[in-house]
Chains A and B, each alone.
Chain A
Amino acid sequence: MATRFTNPFDALLELQNALEQSRFSDWLGLSTTAYGAFPPVNIFQQGDDLVLIAELPGIKKEDMQITVKGDQVRIAGSKKVEYDEKASLHRRERVEGDFDRTFTLPVQINADEVKAEYRDGLLALHLPRAEQDKPRAIEIG
């Protein structure tokens, strides 16, 4: 996505198309969970760092555990959808249950600087790349 967008509506469509096109990328071939598990996760690159965004609407912060070690990120928890006993259910499309996903990333993450934010049903993890993992320029003596 190197082009600059002038029309704001085009930008959204470009993003949506880019998401669809990279759908079947083999980038996380070494991940420990199968493709298509819950919750759905998108991983973006922002400069040197990675941003992981998961869709988890209607979940409480205490019901989620996030752990980071080396190049692995683990998101576990349980999503509950509860209704009053006296309610009569007409339609049920929302998904609920336990989840536990581990991602092996291609770069080492600085675990101390990871920031997690949960807002409007989206869990966003800002994963900065570890200093020793960044490439260093070599001077020719």
Chain B
Amino acid sequence: MTESKALDTVEKKELKTREELTTPGRYFVPNTDIYETDKALVLTMEMPGVEKDDLDIKLDRNVLTLEGHINFSKYENMKPLYTEYNVGHYRRSFTLSNDIDQDGISARMVDGVLTLTLPKAEEAQPRRIEVAS
């Protein structure tokens, strides 16, 4: 018996959008960490079950939309017996500020974790101000 407290799972948040979807299937909000370095803003999103090719990243007028689709064909002849989580597509949108250099956005997907690097525009990077004597 370990001393550390057991981790609790948080249920997946279902996506609530203003627009309705024309195709059936539920969308969930992927867990995201956002952190900032001197040069860029980095997002890491967890989308287990999504392959690199099923990832769709769109940028439209300062709105960044990330969508990951699940390929459910492997579940075809499987009957659920005990379930703790639901399986569905992932989608999340962010509004980017003008500080981001939109042409330099890069993405990497490893083991179900998407790392999105949003480089800061030149003007937004921290600058040292020299003091004149």
Contacts and interface: CB of A to CB of B under 8 A. Distances in A.
Interface of A: 1, 9-13, 15-16, 18-20, 22-23, 25, 27-28, 33-47, 50-51, 55-59, 81, 83-84, 86-95, 97-100, 118, 120-122
Contact of A55 (B32, B48, B79): B48
Given A12-B70, A93-B31, 20 more contacts: A12-B88, A13-B26, A15-B80, A16-B26, A16-B88, A19-B85, A19-B87, A37-B8, A38-B9, A42-B82, A57-B47, A88-B35, A88-B37, A89-B34, A94-B31, A98-B4, A99-B6, A120-B48, A120-B49, A121-B50
Q: Which 8 A-B pairs have the closest CB atoms?
A: A121-B112, A121-B48, A57-B112, A38-B7, A44-B78, A40-B85, A58-B113, A13-B24
Contacts of A121: 46-50, 111-113
A95 to B, nearest CB: 6
Interface string B76-109: 1111111111111000000000000000000000
Contact of B10 (A19, A25, A89, A95): A95
A13 B25 contact: yes
A16 B35 contact: no
Nearest to A121: B112
B46 A58 contact: yes
Q: Please classify the interface of chain A as helix (H, G, I), strand (E, B), loop, or mixed, using the class held by over half of its residues.
A: mixed
A12 B25 contact: yes
The interface centre, meaning the residue of B26, B36, B46 with most chain A CB atoms within 10 A of its CB, is B46
Prevailing SS type, chain B contact patch: loop
Nearest to B68: A120
Nearest to B72: A12
A90 B37 contact: no
